[in-house]
Amino acid sequence: MTAPAPKPWIDAIAPYVPGRSATDSGAKAIKLSSNENPLGTGAAATAAFEAAERTLHRYPDASAADLREAIAAKYGLDPARVIYGTGSDEILHLAAGAFAGAGDEVLYVRYGFSVYPIAARRVGAAPIEADDRDYATDVDALLAAVTERTRVVFVANPNNPTGTYTDRRELARLHAGLPDEVLLVVDQAYAEYLEEADDDGAFALAQMTSNVLVTRTFSKIHGLAAERIGWGYGAAPVIAAMHKIRAPFNVTTAGQQAAIAAIGDDTFVAASRDHNLRWKAWFEGEIAGMADAGLRAVPSKANFILVLFEGRVTAEQAYKALMVEGYIVRWLPGQGLPHGLRMTIGTEEEMRGLVAALRRIVGAGG
């Protein structure tokens, strides 16, 4: 029997694997596998979501005008150059779709965000992986991998799943080394977790140059993952090309309202950042205390830590044992990280419980 044949570049896609929310046994567990905000959603965003007009029969505002205004006002941007998406995932796909295709290359660093190769293959482009430098983005390796076929370069900053960060000088050096016709996408899904001094300068590059796109999301620090809202900022022609292939009503009415409230809720964002900085530092210290058992934390500026298992207990064993203890973290063998577990910073209780479980599993005292 013949059947519709997917295009070969679609067949070549390794499907995205989402963080799990139930254990093998189906028991209720603590989910530290998707970098969600342990404080939940801010009260203002929740109230706006609930108050959103019950106009379910009406399409949402296709131009997301109020949302773009709110974003632009918050970051000092031009609202006409803000694009919005069904999560920033859609923005990443739009960037690849508008600027790359068959015969082109889409470049990113090893251990980059797992959506980048999918976005490349989806449009028939070749995903090209540059070497990392001890799990972090290596600007020299990226620049060395640029060819005349390169059309898009993706850099997540901080990166997921490593948590590593590329500073302003390095990012500027990467941009300066790229041909003008290559689009540099700086994926800032975790930027709100950075301290102010760590601004990577990507918005300034996007303001001043023709080939930089910055992407952000409401899924992470803003606690609106369920509503699927992300956005991007770049030069007007870049944004215009992406709009052409965007789904017409891609952000819901209630989602737009909740996002507007969330972006104005500095108190919730600050509380989330402070919580994260405190418990990330604590967790890093606890992992350092398990060095004898071969555990090592990759330095992270995000709301998660990639813990490497280089001792007797493997990452896979620890992953399964943590699941039995009721903690779901992320094991990433499909991303070349069979020796690492990515763990989201949770509540105090969750972190203390996670560390106690880890100590039992790897046989560390304390």
Per CB under 6 A, residues contacting ligand PLP are: 87-89, 113, 156, 160, 187, 189, 217, 219-220, 225, 230
User: Between 36 and 265, whose beta carbon lies closer to ligand PLP?
Assistant: 36
Minimum separation from the CB atom of position 180 to ligand PLP (A)? 25
User: Between 42 and 87, whose beta carbon lies closer to ligand PLP?
Assistant: 87
User: Between 155 and 323, whose beta carbon lies closer to ligand PLP?
Assistant: 155
User: Between 89 and 104, whose beta carbon lies closer to ligand PLP?
Assistant: 89
What is the residue-wise DSSP string for 102-171?
A: TT-EEEEETT--THHHHHHHHTTPEEEEEPEETTEE-HHHHHHT--TTEEEEEEESS-TTT-----HHHH
Minimum separation from the CB atom of position 324 to ligand PLP (A)? 27
Question: Within its chain, how far is the Cα of 42 from the centroid?
Answer: 20
User: Between 88 and 276, whose beta carbon lies closer to ligand PLP?
Assistant: 88
Minimum separation from the CB atom of position 215 to ligand PLP (A)? 7
CA angle in degrees (0–180, nearest 5) for 24-317-30: 45
Minimum separation from the CB atom of position 165 to ligand PLP (A)? 12
Pairing of strands 30-31, 327-328: parallel
Minimum separation from the CB atom of position 187 to ligand PLP (A)? 5
Say how many residues make up the chain: 366
Minimum separation from the CB atom of position 318 to ligand PLP (A)? 22
Q: Which residue is nearest to ligand PLP (CB)?
A: 87
**Rounded Cα–Cα distance for residues 121 and 160 (Å):** 20
Q: Which residues on neighbouring strands pair with residue 332, listed in sequence order?
A: 337
Q: Are 283 and 345 in contact (CB under 8 A)?
A: yes
**Rounded Cα–Cα distance for residues 139 and 72 (Å):** 29
Strands (E) across 39-125 are located at 82-86, 105-109
User: Between 204 and 225, whose beta carbon lies closer to ligand PLP?
Assistant: 225
